[in-house]
Structure 1
């Protein structure tokens, strides 16, 4: 920003509003931050900030609050993130060191991050390249139901039951399994949907309905493999901030539960020179998260997997950014990266 004093006033407005959730007036700014100018001068600067779309008056004759653009400018002007205290760093290390396996590490990480930031935390399972289909199995459960089992080379077995329109005898089940293995054996997981796209019309007519149901199940199972899985914690924290979501908190909660939106957003976020990425409110367009902010960073090889938080735009960005970065670094260390 070309005007240092206006940048200082914007920073003060953001900090005060995040702390109090109350619109900020010129007199309060002068008193709290001991600004060496009069209230009238601050009001003029606030009028200029409002004209630039950085702050807005939520009510007539009230103080001002930051807009999404105001938060963005504030975040961009954070030159360096404050390191966590020694006590916080020790707590992170001890908490993560106690994990038994990868699943436990993921669960502990999001719980820890939710506690540190008081926001909803999310983590993507480590991305491992080159995962392919090792085996597909179909088990007849009776009552016109098949259990579809997908075994990738990552070792994580995933399964899903499907209801059939008509029963299949053992020979037909074995035939369908053979057709599936011919298409999927050693295929990369991300190619499963395309490999099964024409399965229904390619199999004998008697297997058409079953092939469609099983193909749909395998597509879901492939997408649910480790590198596409998210673990969440702290969604209850968002309820404490429900008043910070102007329309409704429901779209945010639904986006977190669906995971597809979060996976897409996390994959698009590129961390900056400070080691974090921040998306603020309307920067996400018509996204269900357009009334929320997301702070994330990468971990693991090439920072390919993401860990971060979701919360209202009114958040303590410096502390949150520092916490996300610190947890990601300890996580990478614990995973041997």
Structure 2
């Protein structure tokens, strides 16, 4: 059996099974696909694919279905990704461009991707630790309170209130605001610590406690782990795929509720590649997601990836279409963050 023909037979089995949800037999392959060989040859090819672990027979006298290994080979050899139509691209652009702030952008992106793929959409919120600082604002609130506003290059806004023991000197606040923005604008947390600490020495002994308090608030806010979170949409789409799971969708739903599971998975996928990555079945390394696949891509501003967006569904998913949708939404999301 030639390698090229084996891949063609596997491709045909995957495409038919994704479309029909029914095990695929040799007769169906002959009728639906111009493979250019006899039914007997196709049966031999299918036997070899089954022996190699790429397809399996769910029960006696049934056709064949792809295994995780078969899906992996199919995805790795996927030469073409379905292109989105011009109306689809325009709709994505218009829908996302109407967002009013970062929260709205993230919410729109996840709902849009769920609608495009009819699967569960997952968006990792831009991490403060991976974002660069755009602007720091200090706003006196009353006599002894100071509002610290942190704005990142991704449009994320964090606010912290600082309680002081004495009145807030307006001139000191003005000077501190100016020095902070000169020192940290465009820097990430790892690069901002040293310049922040140097600012303290630019002020007199009397002002240094206030300056130190503000800098501590900024550093603590940027270092918080709690900002690592995700937003999901389309969980109800899993109900439409109920027959794709051997037992029930309950293990999948329980895994989705544990955001730490998805955060770990997205982080690991980011380490694999900055582009589109696919984890299939047990590659997710979580029992609850063993019958699902996830397609994810990074997004960010100025060529820097700050988080990932993805689509999760049963292993019997339209990989080409899902990859195209995830890639398109990630690109538009990046453009908006960079604007």
The TM-score, its normalising length taken from structure 2, stands at: 0.72
* Structure 1 partner of 2:328: 326
User: Whole-Å Cα distance in 2 between the matches of residues 273 and 107 of structure 1?
Assistant: 25
Other structure's SS at 2:316 match: coil
1:38 CA displacement: 1.4
Summarize deviations over 1:167-215 as a string: whole Å, max 9, x none: xxxxxxxxxxxxxx89x64444575xxxxxxxxxxxxxxxxxxxxxxxx
1:279 CA displacement: 0.1
Q: Which runs of 5+ in 1 are unaligned?
A: 136-149, 160-180, 192-221
User: Whole-Å Cα distance in 1 between the matches of residues 110 and 235 of structure 2?
Assistant: 11
Q: Specify which of 224, 238, 249 is matched with residue 226 of structure 2.
A: 224
User: Whole-Å Cα distance in 2 between the matches of residues 186 and 7 of structure 1?
Assistant: 55
Going from structure 1 to structure 2, the CA distance change for 1:10 and 1:187 (only over 3 Å counts) comes to: same
User: Whole-Å Cα distance in 2 between the matches of residues 158 and 46 of structure 1?
Assistant: 62
Summarize deviations over 1:99-136 as a string: whole Å, max 9, x none: 111111111101110010000001011223478xx99x
* Structure 2 partner of 1:215: none
Superposition map of 1:48-197 within 5 A: 48-128=48-128, 129=131, 153=150, 155-157=157-159, 185-189=217-221
* Structure 1 partner of 2:315: 313
Is the contact between residue 274 and residue 305 of structure 2 (CA under 8 Å) also seen in structure 1?
Answer: no
Other structure's SS at 1:247 match: coil
Q: Which runs of 5+ in 2 are unaligned?
A: 139-146, 152-156, 162-212
1:288 CA displacement: 2.5
Is the contact between residue 110 and residue 232 of structure 1 (CA under 8 Å) also seen in structure 2?
Answer: yes
Greater Cα shift, 80-89 or 230-239: 80-89
Going from structure 1 to structure 2, the CA distance change for 1:91 and 1:104 (only over 3 Å counts) comes to: same
Going from structure 1 to structure 2, the CA distance change for 1:158 and 1:313 (only over 3 Å counts) comes to: farther
1:278 aligns with 2:278: yes
User: Whole-Å Cα distance in 2 between the matches of residues 4 and 285 of structure 1?
Assistant: 31
1:249 CA displacement: 1.4
User: Whole-Å Cα distance in 2 between the matches of residues 306 and 43 of structure 1?
Assistant: 42
User: Whole-Å Cα distance in 2 between the matches of residues 130 and 35 of structure 1?
Assistant: 53
User: Whole-Å Cα distance in 1 between the matches of residues 255 and 273 of structure 2?
Assistant: 28
User: Whole-Å Cα distance in 2 between the matches of residues 309 and 34 of structure 1?
Assistant: 32
Is the contact between residue 17 and residue 65 of structure 1 (CA under 8 Å) also seen in structure 2?
Answer: yes
Going from structure 1 to structure 2, the CA distance change for 1:265 and 1:53 (only over 3 Å counts) comes to: same
The TM-score, its normalising length taken from structure 1, stands at: 0.73
1:39 CA displacement: 1.2
Is the contact between residue 271 and residue 277 of structure 1 (CA under 8 Å) also seen in structure 2?
Answer: no
* Structure 2 partner of 1:139: none
Summarize deviations over 1:133-189 as a string: whole Å, max 9, x none: x99xxxxxxxxxxxxxx9784543599xxxxxxxxxxxxxxxxxxxxx89x644445
Give the paired residue count.
271
